[in-house]
Amino acid sequence: MRDVVKTNVKREQNSKRTRRRKTNVKLYVFVILVLSLGLGVLLSVTLLFNIDKISIVGDQVDYSQENIIKASGVKIGDNLVRLDAKEVRKRILSSMVFVEDAKLDKKYPDTLEISLVKCVESACVEYEDGFMVISKQGKILEKTDKARDGLLLIKGFQPKGFDPGEFIESEDPQKSDIYHDIMDAIDKYSDTKVTQVDMTDKYSIVVSYDGRIDFKMGNSNEISYKMNLANTVLQDLDKDKTGTMIMVGSNQISFRNSTDSKGSKRDSSGRIPIEQDKLPAVTETQSQQDEQVQEGEGDNGYVPQEQQWDEGAVDEGGEWADENAGWDEVPQEQQWEEPQGEFE
Protein backbone atom coordinates (compact mmCIF):
# COMPACT_ATOMS: atom_id res chain seq x y z
CA MET A 1 0.00 0.00 0.00
CA ARG A 2 2.81 2.39 0.84
CA ASP A 3 4.50 1.60 -2.48
CA VAL A 4 1.36 2.63 -4.35
CA VAL A 5 1.18 5.96 -2.53
CA LYS A 6 4.85 6.74 -3.21
CA THR A 7 4.40 5.96 -6.89
CA ASN A 8 1.49 8.40 -7.21
CA VAL A 9 3.44 11.16 -5.43
CA LYS A 10 6.40 10.69 -7.78
CA ARG A 11 4.14 10.86 -10.82
CA GLU A 12 2.64 14.15 -9.65
CA GLN A 13 6.10 15.61 -9.00
CA ASN A 14 7.35 14.52 -12.43
CA SER A 15 4.27 16.05 -14.06
CA LYS A 16 4.89 19.40 -12.35
CA ARG A 17 8.57 19.36 -13.40
CA THR A 18 7.53 18.68 -17.02
CA ARG A 19 5.07 21.59 -17.02
CA ARG A 20 7.73 23.90 -15.58
CA ARG A 21 10.21 22.86 -18.24
CA LYS A 22 7.69 23.56 -21.03
CA THR A 23 6.91 26.98 -19.55
CA ASN A 24 10.60 27.81 -19.29
CA VAL A 25 11.20 26.75 -22.90
CA LYS A 26 8.42 29.07 -24.13
CA LEU A 27 9.86 31.91 -22.08
CA TYR A 28 13.36 31.30 -23.46
CA VAL A 29 12.01 31.28 -27.04
CA PHE A 30 10.12 34.54 -26.44
CA VAL A 31 13.21 36.24 -24.99
CA ILE A 32 15.33 35.07 -27.92
CA LEU A 33 12.76 36.41 -30.42
CA VAL A 34 12.61 39.80 -28.69
CA LEU A 35 16.40 40.06 -28.61
CA SER A 36 16.64 39.06 -32.27
CA LEU A 37 14.03 41.63 -33.24
CA GLY A 38 15.78 44.33 -31.25
CA LEU A 39 19.09 43.44 -32.84
CA GLY A 40 17.48 43.57 -36.30
CA VAL A 41 16.04 47.03 -35.66
CA LEU A 42 19.36 48.24 -34.30
CA LEU A 43 21.20 47.01 -37.37
CA SER A 44 18.53 48.54 -39.65
CA VAL A 45 19.03 52.03 -38.25
CA THR A 46 22.82 51.81 -38.03
CA LEU A 47 24.57 49.42 -40.40
CA LEU A 48 21.83 48.27 -42.79
CA PHE A 49 19.65 50.28 -45.28
CA ASN A 50 21.98 53.23 -45.56
CA ILE A 51 21.53 55.42 -48.66
CA ASP A 52 23.99 54.70 -51.44
CA LYS A 53 22.12 56.36 -54.33
CA ILE A 54 19.76 59.37 -54.70
CA SER A 55 17.85 59.58 -58.01
CA ILE A 56 15.79 62.55 -59.25
CA VAL A 57 12.82 61.76 -61.52
CA GLY A 58 9.59 63.44 -62.72
CA ASP A 59 9.18 66.78 -64.49
CA GLN A 60 12.14 68.70 -65.85
CA VAL A 61 12.74 71.62 -63.52
CA ASP A 62 15.13 74.56 -63.68
CA TYR A 63 17.42 73.13 -61.04
CA SER A 64 20.41 70.81 -61.25
CA GLN A 65 20.38 67.44 -59.50
CA GLU A 66 23.13 68.65 -57.21
CA ASN A 67 21.05 71.64 -56.09
CA ILE A 68 17.95 69.49 -55.57
CA ILE A 69 19.85 66.99 -53.44
CA LYS A 70 21.44 69.83 -51.48
CA ALA A 71 18.02 71.42 -50.87
CA SER A 72 16.64 68.09 -49.64
CA GLY A 73 19.29 67.87 -46.93
CA VAL A 74 19.76 64.15 -47.62
CA LYS A 75 23.30 62.78 -47.83
CA ILE A 76 24.87 59.54 -48.97
CA GLY A 77 25.13 57.30 -45.94
CA ASP A 78 21.93 58.56 -44.27
CA ASN A 79 19.68 55.78 -43.06
CA LEU A 80 16.51 55.09 -45.07
CA VAL A 81 14.59 53.82 -42.04
CA ARG A 82 15.24 56.94 -39.98
CA LEU A 83 14.71 59.35 -42.88
CA ASP A 84 11.75 61.73 -42.31
CA ALA A 85 10.17 61.95 -45.78
CA LYS A 86 7.73 64.73 -44.80
CA GLU A 87 10.54 66.94 -43.53
CA VAL A 88 12.60 66.35 -46.68
CA ARG A 89 9.61 67.26 -48.87
CA LYS A 90 9.04 70.42 -46.83
CA ARG A 91 12.67 71.51 -47.28
CA ILE A 92 12.51 71.00 -51.06
CA LEU A 93 9.25 72.94 -51.52
CA SER A 94 10.30 75.85 -49.31
CA SER A 95 13.69 76.36 -50.97
CA MET A 96 12.78 75.62 -54.61
CA VAL A 97 10.18 78.13 -55.79
CA PHE A 98 9.31 76.43 -59.08
CA VAL A 99 8.72 72.95 -57.65
CA GLU A 100 5.02 72.33 -57.06
CA ASP A 101 5.34 68.99 -55.30
CA ALA A 102 7.94 66.41 -54.29
CA LYS A 103 7.34 62.75 -53.53
CA LEU A 104 9.89 60.49 -51.87
CA ASP A 105 10.11 56.74 -52.50
CA LYS A 106 12.41 54.64 -50.31
CA LYS A 107 13.67 51.78 -52.45
CA TYR A 108 15.28 49.34 -50.05
CA PRO A 109 17.98 48.46 -49.42
CA ASP A 110 19.95 51.58 -50.43
CA THR A 111 18.17 53.95 -52.87
CA LEU A 112 16.11 57.12 -52.37
CA GLU A 113 14.01 58.32 -55.33
CA ILE A 114 12.75 61.93 -55.40
CA SER A 115 9.96 62.64 -57.92
CA LEU A 116 9.31 66.32 -58.73
CA VAL A 117 6.29 68.15 -60.15
CA LYS A 118 7.01 71.44 -61.89
CA CYS A 119 5.02 74.59 -61.10
CA VAL A 120 2.85 75.95 -63.90
CA GLU A 121 1.68 79.57 -63.86
CA SER A 122 -2.08 79.44 -63.38
CA ALA A 123 -3.33 82.74 -61.95
CA CYS A 124 -2.55 86.28 -60.85
CA VAL A 125 -3.70 87.39 -57.41
CA GLU A 126 -4.33 91.10 -57.04
CA TYR A 127 -3.14 92.88 -53.88
CA GLU A 128 -2.46 96.45 -52.80
CA ASP A 129 1.04 96.74 -54.30
CA GLY A 130 0.50 94.79 -57.50
CA PHE A 131 0.01 91.16 -58.46
CA MET A 132 1.37 87.76 -57.50
CA VAL A 133 1.78 85.00 -60.08
CA ILE A 134 0.75 81.70 -58.50
CA SER A 135 0.60 78.03 -59.44
CA LYS A 136 -2.51 75.87 -59.55
CA GLN A 137 -2.03 74.79 -55.94
CA GLY A 138 -1.47 78.39 -54.90
CA LYS A 139 2.31 78.57 -54.63
CA ILE A 140 3.64 82.10 -55.05
CA LEU A 141 6.07 82.20 -57.98
CA GLU A 142 6.80 85.91 -58.36
CA LYS A 143 5.46 89.43 -57.82
CA THR A 144 4.72 91.77 -60.73
CA ASP A 145 3.49 95.32 -61.29
CA LYS A 146 0.74 94.29 -63.67
CA ALA A 147 -1.42 91.24 -64.33
CA ARG A 148 0.08 88.58 -66.58
CA ASP A 149 -1.72 88.23 -69.91
CA GLY A 150 -3.52 84.93 -70.38
CA LEU A 151 -3.68 84.06 -66.67
CA LEU A 152 -6.77 83.88 -64.51
CA LEU A 153 -7.14 87.08 -62.45
CA ILE A 154 -8.15 86.70 -58.79
CA LYS A 155 -9.58 89.79 -57.06
CA GLY A 156 -10.50 90.35 -53.43
CA PHE A 157 -8.43 87.44 -52.05
CA GLN A 158 -6.74 89.48 -49.28
CA PRO A 159 -3.43 87.55 -49.12
CA LYS A 160 -1.47 87.63 -45.87
CA GLY A 161 1.83 86.34 -47.28
CA PHE A 162 3.79 87.61 -50.28
CA ASP A 163 7.12 85.77 -50.42
CA PRO A 164 7.87 83.56 -53.46
CA GLY A 165 7.95 79.90 -52.45
CA GLU A 166 5.11 80.25 -49.96
CA PHE A 167 1.60 78.97 -50.58
CA ILE A 168 -0.99 81.72 -50.58
CA GLU A 169 -3.28 82.13 -47.62
CA SER A 170 -5.98 84.71 -47.16
CA GLU A 171 -6.55 86.80 -44.08
CA ASP A 172 -10.03 85.29 -44.33
CA PRO A 173 -9.62 81.46 -44.16
CA GLN A 174 -12.92 81.00 -46.02
CA LYS A 175 -11.49 82.78 -49.06
CA SER A 176 -8.59 80.30 -49.15
CA ASP A 177 -11.14 77.48 -49.38
CA ILE A 178 -13.08 79.39 -52.05
CA TYR A 179 -9.93 79.72 -54.18
CA HIS A 180 -9.17 75.98 -54.07
CA ASP A 181 -12.81 75.00 -54.67
CA ILE A 182 -13.04 77.27 -57.70
CA MET A 183 -9.75 76.03 -59.16
CA ASP A 184 -10.91 72.42 -58.78
CA ALA A 185 -14.26 73.25 -60.40
CA ILE A 186 -12.55 75.01 -63.31
CA ASP A 187 -10.54 71.87 -64.03
CA LYS A 188 -13.64 69.68 -63.95
CA TYR A 189 -16.34 71.72 -65.64
CA SER A 190 -15.16 74.81 -67.51
CA ASP A 191 -15.26 74.25 -71.26
CA THR A 192 -15.30 78.05 -71.61
CA LYS A 193 -12.18 79.81 -70.35
CA VAL A 194 -12.52 81.48 -66.95
CA THR A 195 -10.73 84.83 -67.08
CA GLN A 196 -11.51 86.39 -63.70
CA VAL A 197 -12.81 85.55 -60.22
CA ASP A 198 -13.91 88.36 -57.91
CA MET A 199 -14.37 87.30 -54.29
CA THR A 200 -14.20 90.79 -52.79
CA ASP A 201 -17.61 90.00 -51.32
CA LYS A 202 -17.48 86.31 -50.42
CA TYR A 203 -21.27 86.23 -50.29
CA SER A 204 -21.52 87.54 -53.86
CA ILE A 205 -18.79 85.81 -55.86
CA VAL A 206 -18.51 86.69 -59.55
CA VAL A 207 -16.84 84.41 -62.11
CA SER A 208 -16.12 85.85 -65.56
CA TYR A 209 -16.06 83.57 -68.60
CA ASP A 210 -14.02 84.51 -71.65
CA GLY A 211 -14.20 88.19 -70.68
CA ARG A 212 -17.80 88.40 -71.94
CA ILE A 213 -20.13 86.66 -69.48
CA ASP A 214 -20.22 87.25 -65.72
CA PHE A 215 -21.67 84.55 -63.49
CA LYS A 216 -22.98 85.82 -60.15
CA MET A 217 -23.02 82.62 -58.14
CA GLY A 218 -23.82 84.11 -54.73
CA ASN A 219 -22.05 82.62 -51.72
CA SER A 220 -19.51 79.80 -51.54
CA ASN A 221 -22.00 76.98 -50.90
CA GLU A 222 -21.84 74.19 -53.51
CA ILE A 223 -19.29 75.95 -55.74
CA SER A 224 -18.63 72.81 -57.77
CA TYR A 225 -22.34 72.28 -58.50
CA LYS A 226 -22.94 75.92 -59.42
CA MET A 227 -20.04 76.03 -61.87
CA ASN A 228 -21.15 72.75 -63.40
CA LEU A 229 -24.61 74.25 -63.91
CA ALA A 230 -23.11 77.45 -65.36
CA ASN A 231 -21.06 75.38 -67.79
CA THR A 232 -24.26 73.63 -68.92
CA VAL A 233 -25.95 76.98 -69.58
CA LEU A 234 -22.92 78.30 -71.46
CA GLN A 235 -23.18 75.41 -73.90
CA ASP A 236 -26.64 76.68 -74.91
CA LEU A 237 -25.48 80.26 -75.55
CA ASP A 238 -24.01 81.59 -78.76
CA LYS A 239 -20.25 81.98 -78.67
CA ASP A 240 -20.48 85.74 -79.19
CA LYS A 241 -23.01 86.36 -76.39
CA THR A 242 -22.19 88.89 -73.70
CA GLY A 243 -24.16 89.37 -70.53
CA THR A 244 -24.71 88.22 -66.95
CA MET A 245 -25.82 84.91 -65.47
CA ILE A 246 -27.32 84.89 -61.98
CA MET A 247 -27.85 81.88 -59.74
CA VAL A 248 -31.53 81.55 -58.83
CA GLY A 249 -32.39 79.19 -56.01
CA SER A 250 -30.29 76.04 -56.09
CA ASN A 251 -30.70 74.75 -59.65
CA GLN A 252 -31.67 77.62 -61.99
CA ILE A 253 -29.73 80.36 -63.70
CA SER A 254 -31.13 83.61 -65.06
CA PHE A 255 -29.32 85.27 -67.97
CA ARG A 256 -29.36 88.95 -68.91
CA ASN A 257 -28.24 89.58 -72.44
CA SER A 258 -26.25 92.72 -73.16
CA THR A 259 -26.19 92.13 -76.94
CA ASP A 260 -28.65 90.98 -79.59
CA SER A 261 -30.58 88.11 -78.03
CA LYS A 262 -31.67 86.49 -81.29
CA GLY A 263 -31.00 82.80 -81.32
CA SER A 264 -30.81 82.36 -77.56
CA LYS A 265 -32.70 79.41 -76.12
CA ARG A 266 -34.73 81.32 -73.58
CA ASP A 267 -38.26 80.83 -72.34
CA SER A 268 -40.78 83.63 -71.90
CA SER A 269 -39.61 84.33 -68.33
CA GLY A 270 -36.10 85.20 -69.41
CA ARG A 271 -34.54 82.11 -67.83
CA ILE A 272 -32.44 79.63 -69.76
CA PRO A 273 -34.24 76.25 -69.79
CA ILE A 274 -32.00 73.26 -69.13
CA GLU A 275 -32.93 69.79 -70.26
CA GLN A 276 -33.49 67.48 -67.31
CA ASP A 277 -30.83 64.98 -68.39
CA LYS A 278 -28.26 67.81 -68.50
CA LEU A 279 -29.06 69.08 -65.02
CA PRO A 280 -26.37 68.16 -62.46
CA ALA A 281 -27.51 65.94 -59.60
CA VAL A 282 -29.03 67.90 -56.71
CA THR A 283 -27.30 67.23 -53.40
CA GLU A 284 -28.97 66.91 -50.00
CA THR A 285 -27.73 70.40 -49.09
CA GLN A 286 -29.36 71.88 -52.19
CA SER A 287 -32.65 70.10 -51.41
CA GLN A 288 -32.61 71.68 -47.96
CA GLN A 289 -31.94 75.08 -49.57
CA ASP A 290 -34.96 74.59 -51.86
CA GLU A 291 -37.13 73.94 -48.82
CA GLN A 292 -35.79 77.13 -47.26
CA VAL A 293 -36.60 79.02 -50.47
CA GLN A 294 -40.19 77.87 -50.31
CA GLU A 295 -40.37 78.95 -46.66
CA GLY A 296 -38.82 82.34 -47.48
CA GLU A 297 -35.46 81.57 -45.86
CA GLY A 298 -31.85 81.21 -47.04
CA ASP A 299 -29.52 83.60 -48.83
CA ASN A 300 -30.06 81.96 -52.25
CA GLY A 301 -33.83 81.82 -51.93
CA TYR A 302 -34.58 84.98 -53.88
CA VAL A 303 -33.11 87.37 -56.35
CA PRO A 304 -32.38 90.92 -55.09
CA GLN A 305 -34.89 93.51 -56.22
CA GLU A 306 -32.58 95.13 -58.73
CA GLN A 307 -31.93 91.76 -60.36
CA GLN A 308 -35.51 90.67 -61.10
CA TRP A 309 -36.12 89.67 -64.70
CA ASP A 310 -38.77 91.63 -66.55
CA GLU A 311 -39.72 89.79 -69.71
CA GLY A 312 -41.66 92.82 -70.93
CA ALA A 313 -38.45 94.77 -71.30
CA VAL A 314 -37.57 92.79 -74.42
CA ASP A 315 -39.28 93.84 -77.61
CA GLU A 316 -40.50 91.50 -80.32
CA GLY A 317 -37.14 91.62 -82.05
CA GLY A 318 -35.46 90.31 -78.93
CA GLU A 319 -33.48 93.49 -78.25
CA TRP A 320 -33.48 95.62 -75.11
CA ALA A 321 -35.73 98.66 -75.17
CA ASP A 322 -33.10 100.68 -73.28
CA GLU A 323 -29.92 100.06 -71.31
CA ASN A 324 -31.78 100.11 -67.99
CA ALA A 325 -34.52 97.72 -69.08
CA GLY A 326 -34.64 94.06 -68.25
CA TRP A 327 -34.91 94.18 -64.44
CA ASP A 328 -38.05 94.96 -62.57
CA GLU A 329 -38.23 95.92 -58.90
CA VAL A 330 -40.47 93.30 -57.34
CA PRO A 331 -41.29 93.34 -53.60
CA GLN A 332 -39.28 90.71 -51.76
CA GLU A 333 -42.35 88.73 -50.70
CA GLN A 334 -43.35 88.42 -54.38
CA GLN A 335 -39.97 87.31 -55.68
CA TRP A 336 -40.05 84.09 -57.58
CA GLU A 337 -39.65 80.66 -56.16
CA GLU A 338 -38.25 77.82 -58.20
CA PRO A 339 -41.19 76.79 -60.46
CA GLN A 340 -42.32 73.19 -60.46
CA GLY A 341 -41.83 71.33 -63.73
CA GLU A 342 -39.53 74.05 -65.10
CA PHE A 343 -37.58 71.61 -67.20
CA GLU A 344 -40.33 69.24 -68.29
Q: Give whole-number Cα distances, 23 to 15, 17, 31, in Å.
A: 13, 10, 12
pLDDT at 10: 56
pLDDT at 34: 72
Say how many C-beta atoms besides its own lie within 10 A of residue 15's C-beta.
10
Domain tally, the chain? 2
Compute the half-sphere exposure of residue 189: CA atoms within 13 Å on the CB side of its CA: 21
Same structural domain, 176 and 323: yes
Residue 124 lies in a domain: no
Q: Which of 73, 97, 118 is the last residue of a domain?
A: 118
The lowest-confidence range among 2-11, 57-66, 309-318 is 309-318
Same structural domain, 182 and 250: yes
pLDDT at 190: 81
pLDDT at 93: 94
Residue 318 lies in a domain: yes
Who wins on pLDDT, 268 or 27?
27
pLDDT at residue 273 above 70?
no
pLDDT at 251: 81
pLDDT at 258: 81
Same structural domain, 101 and 190: no
Residue 343 lies in a domain: no
Tens-place pLDDT, residues 185-198 = 999 988 889 999 99
Average pLDDT value over all residues in the chain: 77
The lowest-confidence range among 138-147, 168-177, 260-269 is 260-269
Produce one character per residue of 301-314: b if its CB has 16 or more CB atoms within 10 Å, e if not: bbbeeebbbeeebb
Tens-place pLDDT, residues 289-335 = 555 544 444 444 333 433 343 333 333 333 333 334 344 333 333 33
Domain extent at residue 329: 172-334
Same structural domain, 96 and 211: no
Residue 109 lies in a domain: yes
pLDDT at 240: 87
Q: Which of 118, 136, 156 is the last residue of a domain?
A: 118
pLDDT at residue 259 above 90?
no
If you average pLDDT over residues 173-179, what whole number do you get? Answer: 95
Residue 79 lies in a domain: yes
Same structural domain, 185 and 92: no
Tens-place pLDDT, residues 116-143 = 999 999 999 999 999 999 998 999 999 9
CATH code: domain of residue 97 = 3.10.20.310
pLDDT confidence of 65, banded at 50, 70, 90?
Answer: very high
Residue 23 lies in a domain: no
Same structural domain, 178 and 261: yes
Q: How far apart are CA 151 and CA 136, in angstroms?
A: 11
Q: How do strand 53-58 and strand 111-118 relate by DSSP bridges?
A: parallel
Residue 75 lies in a domain: yes
Degrees, nearest 5: CA angle 308-310-311? 140
Q: How far apart are CA 95 and CA 73, in angstroms?
A: 11
Residue 47 lies in a domain: no
Share of the chain above pLDDT 70, in %: 62
Same structural domain, 111 and 215: no
Same structural domain, 109 and 187: no
